[in-house]
Structure 1
Amino acid sequence: MFWSDRVAGTRRRQAAHEVSNHGGRGLLHPVRPDPVTAAQSSPEASDSVAAASSPVARGPLGPRVETRPEGWRLVDRRGLLKAAVAAPATSLLAACGGGGSGGSGARSVRIGMVSPRTGSLRLYSEVDAHVVETMRTIFKDGIRVGRSTLPAEIFVRDGQSDRNRAAAAATDLIFTDQVDVVLVGGTSDNANPVSDACEANGVPCISTEAPWESWFYGRGGNAQAPFSWTYHFYWGMGDLRGAYTTMWGQLDVPRVVALLLPNDQDGVTFSNGVFGLPALAQAGFQILSDVPPYSVGERDFSAQVQKIIDNDVEIVAGVPNPDDFAVFWRTLNDRNYLPKAVTMSKALAFERDVENLGATANGFTTEVSWSPKHQFRSYLTNRTAEELASEYVDQTGRPWAPSLGFTHALYEVLAQALVNVDSIDNARGIADAIARVKANTIVGTVTFGGAQNVPKNVGSIPLVGGQWRQQNNTFNLRVVANNGSNIAPDGPVEDLQTVQNR
């Protein structure tokens, strides 16, 4: 062991402590690899040597090579001798720094992903699984890294819809699977702890599917001192307020809004007086101030329901998960109270969650971050949004969801960033390439820090407003407010009472 190994060990212990402080409790019980992913990974994957938190090269079965800040490289001599005995001369030359495009002996690009395969966010993983298999096909002949084309491997771990388990899954990707970069979505409950683990361990990470304020400020972000390793693209609360006011402005209803907010990171973001939903007051809406927040997993919403009824509230908005919202909605139905607008983020993202609510969900409204109507093409396949959604429906038998576009876009952003990386072993170079990328994706152009009042680590994506409408026992998400975009609405929004009494 040379000197840098001891330093790396110290840094890893410090990093593990840091992850624990960010919600990584339970890291003593590592998450087991996804059996499907493990089976489809190459047999050599588990034998690869890696140090994901530093610029130490990670060639399979070869000597460790550390790039020094001064520009020269330090080679582990004992590892070099072992490589000389165990490998042919061509492999030895490659270990010493020889170049070349992808081949059987080429160092693979190891991509990690944390997906909530179980728990309340499990529907996100169905989309993730489909996209991962699509990417394995796209990258079967390799992925371009600078001037080279290298083999690609994708490792998936289960975040279990739990912040602590998501942090543990990310740590396993970093230290067990030794990935070069981590991709993650599935709301801030999944994306934030994974991003924290990557930031602490110096591993590049791209995330999505959480309001960017939840991701940035929820992780203690400071615009004057941005994150070094983690980048995020999604819509922000200003975009959400714009979609909500455009939808509600079409209705003849009193402008009093009750908020159904959990005491989690998204609830804190939505309740923020500066950029959250209370800022709707600037558009003439009054937020009912005394509706209490609730704990995730709550089974008694009588206090919130009573406040809504006592104040004759006609607009209810919030960001509960699907399970919590289902309990709230049953409680409100039991009181025979029907508002004219129920507009929920997160809880109404998937058609299957809406179907589980039955006919009483007909007319619910939500934001639409991506749809088949969006006028973008995939950088990787040249498919349109409509074609991508149709392929998903045909191949899985499940309805499309907005998360399909964003999970697909994660790999598009990564692929375009890697084109500008000199070496896959240069973690700092990968992070810098992500920071500089201008990526054309299925959800639109992604750049980080390119918009006014947006932190350097953030790419802001606009959204539109949608309404779930039931037809022939199925639900369709119709665009009803284009929010200034070029997407043609399917029609106007209708109030919930009119829809359900028709």
Structure 2
Amino acid sequence: MDRTNTEEKRTCSPEPPTVGVVVARTGRLARLGDPLAYAMDLLAPKLRGRLRLVGRDSRSSAAGARRAVRELVEVERARMVLTLAGTEVLPAVADACEEAGVPCLSSTFPWQVYVHGGRPRRWTYHFCWGLDDIAETFADLWEADGGPGRTVGCLWNDGPQGGWSRHGTHGFLPAARARGHRLLDPAGYREPAAAFAGHVTAFRNAGVEVVTSAATGEDLGVFRREAARQGLRPRMITCSRWLAYPPAGDDGAAAVANVATLVYWTPAHPYRSSLDGMTAAELAEGYERATGNQWLQPLGLAYALVEVAAHALATAADPTVPASVAEALGATRLRTVAGPLDWTSGPVPHIATVRLSGGQWQRGRRHPYELVVVDNRRVEGLPVGGELLPVDADR
């Protein structure tokens, strides 16, 4: 073959499409940005020639997220934007993508908040669990510990997280009540919390047996100290949001000890990547070896974001046309390292769901506290790692 013609063809070959990634590298969400940054570093060389991954720091704020999207779209010419984590950051990324007319793929945010919490979105595609899924998972744990009809105290803030948890139609509250449990919600508290004397008193007077929350580790620690001072000893504490991640520091470890939480991804999940066949166990092991840090649940979802992006661009009729990429996202059915994802059969359009199981933070062997799967009924093939312990065990 003529060398000149070969070089001309190589010169004229189209550049691979750019996928922009909004990832927290500074600010309060930086630790949760680590899994996405790791997935980008791991997959960028593997996908060279198929797509180009470019990141921008959200700075853990809505303003920073909007700025990141503008730079990715206007400067880097991103054909799609990926992101995860952040009650304020995720909607800001989605809104900025809507304004730019660029497909957005996101995760780790209860889907009802996306669908019912703002204006309709044309370009946003999302995969996650729902608030009702959290309620069902927690109710499974409550009933496994003490049977049906529990009296549950709600420790919810006065922000979006608490507001959606107590939403009468789409939130955690109606799903838990439908299971026959009595939920007591004294009042929303401002984060960071200074004291919980009123909540503890209300729970004690109502005979609360279980406390459920979406508190930070710091706020949950404040509550647990006040509960001990007043003699409130719930049989169980369930907590989502920040408590789905490993505790930070001695105070964080004390706050999460024997607290039950939702489980959406672990090294024990029976899933493989659609890109390279990597197992969940291999992904977690590589992350710990490379970073020196304990694996986090968002790691599997971060990897799956890139899997789905690569699949959508490969199957789009024209990956340079936003509508074509969006159509491919909406038609995606893919087995990923985060599990099977299907946008063709979600609860509503543009949503694919992630399965949940029940877990508990227990004293570990490799780390001070490790997330142990204690209820696997909703995830086929996931082994149970231990028994559910009383919340005051070993304290």
Per the TM superposition, whether the score is higher than 0.5 is yes
Change (3 A) 1:104 1:402: farther
Change (3 A) 1:327 1:384: same
Counterpart position of 1:45:
none
Q: Is the 8 A contact 2:151 2:182 kept in 1?
A: yes
1:284-306: CA deviation from partner (whole Å, max 9, x where unpaired): 210103x1112333434443333
Q: Is the 8 A contact 1:120 1:321 kept in 2?
A: no
Change (3 A) 1:272 1:132: same
What residue identity is the alignment partner of 1:382? G
Aligned equivalents of 2:226, 2:292: Cα separation in 1: 32
Aligned equivalents of 1:416, 1:355: Cα separation in 2: 42
Q: TM-score, normalised by structure 2?
A: 0.89
Aligned equivalents of 1:259, 1:191: Cα separation in 2: 25
Counterpart position of 1:119:
27
Aligned equivalents of 2:128, 2:249: Cα separation in 1: 23
Task: Determine if the alignment matches structure 1 residue 467 to structure 2 residue 375.
Answer: no
Aligned equivalents of 2:231, 2:256: Cα separation in 1: 14
Aligned equivalents of 1:488, 1:174: Cα separation in 2: 42
Matches within 5 A, 1:11-410: 106-140=14-48, 142-143=49-50, 152-221=51-120, 227-252=121-146, 255-279=150-174, 280-289=176-185, 291-335=186-230, 337-353=232-248, 356-410=251-305
Aligned equivalents of 2:72, 2:225: Cα separation in 1: 40
Deviation at 1:415, TM superposition (A): 0.9
1:439-461: CA deviation from partner (whole Å, max 9, x where unpaired): 2211122121413xx11110011
Q: Is the 8 A contact 2:265 2:298 kept in 1?
A: yes
Q: Is the 8 A contact 2:266 2:297 kept in 1?
A: yes
Secondary structure in structure 1 of the residue aligned to 2:315? coil
1:94-142: CA deviation from partner (whole Å, max 9, x where unpaired): xxxxxx7x768632322111122233322211111111101212123x1
Aligned equivalents of 2:374, 2:122: Cα separation in 1: 39
Aligned equivalents of 1:108, 1:252: Cα separation in 2: 56
Counterpart position of 1:22:
none
What residue identity is the alignment partner of 2:394? Q
Q: Is the 8 A contact 1:120 1:323 kept in 2?
A: no
Counterpart position of 1:40:
none
Task: Determine if the alignment matches structure 1 residue 429 to structure 2 residue 320.
Answer: no
Structure 1 residue runs of 5 or longer lacking an equivalent are: 1-87, 94-99, 144-151, 222-226
Deviation at 1:427, TM superposition (A): 1.2
1:140-188: CA deviation from partner (whole Å, max 9, x where unpaired): 3x11xxxxxxxx3322222233233323332332233332110011143
Secondary structure in structure 2 of the residue aligned to 1:409? helix
Deviation at 1:500, TM superposition (A): 2.9
Counterpart position of 1:82:
none
Counterpart position of 1:21:
none
Deviation at 1:244, TM superposition (A): 0.7
What residue identity is the alignment partner of 2:352? G
Counterpart position of 1:457:
350
Task: Determine if the alignment matches structure 1 residue 439 to structure 2 residue 334.
Answer: yes
Change (3 A) 1:158 1:299: farther
1:338-377: CA deviation from partner (whole Å, max 9, x where unpaired): 4221111112122133854234532111000111121111
Q: Is the 8 A contact 1:292 1:303 kept in 2?
A: no
Change (3 A) 1:356 1:138: farther
Secondary structure in structure 2 of the residue aligned to 1:219? coil
Change (3 A) 1:112 1:324: farther
Change (3 A) 1:352 1:278: closer
Change (3 A) 1:228 1:319: same
Aligned equivalents of 1:329, 1:114: Cα separation in 2: 35
Structure 2 residue runs of 5 or longer lacking an equivalent are: none
Aligned equivalents of 1:114, 1:392: Cα separation in 2: 20
Aligned equivalents of 1:416, 1:482: Cα separation in 2: 29
Q: Is the 8 A contact 1:325 1:347 kept in 2?
A: no
Deviation at 1:320, TM superposition (A): 2.5
What residue identity is the alignment partner of 1:119? G
Counterpart position of 2:309:
414
Q: Is the 8 A contact 2:312 2:329 kept in 1?
A: yes
User: In terms of mean alpha carbon deviation, does 169-178 or 338-347 score higher?
Assistant: 169-178
Deviation at 1:191, TM superposition (A): 1.4
What residue identity is the alignment partner of 1:136? A
Over the residues paired in the alignment, what is the CA RMSD in angstroms?
A: 2.6
Deviation at 1:462, TM superposition (A): 1.1
Change (3 A) 1:191 1:323: farther
Aligned equivalents of 2:261, 2:331: Cα separation in 1: 32
Q: Is the 8 A contact 2:332 2:344 kept in 1?
A: no
1:199-222: CA deviation from partner (whole Å, max 9, x where unpaired): 12211110000111122212234x
Q: Is the 8 A contact 1:369 1:463 kept in 2?
A: yes
Q: Is the 8 A contact 1:449 1:455 kept in 2?
A: no
User: In terms of mean alpha carbon deviation, does 271-280 or 209-218 score higher?
Assistant: 271-280
Aligned equivalents of 2:60, 2:197: Cα separation in 1: 26
Deviation at 1:330, TM superposition (A): 4.5
Q: Is the 8 A contact 1:158 1:169 kept in 2?
A: yes
Deviation at 1:308, TM superposition (A): 2.7
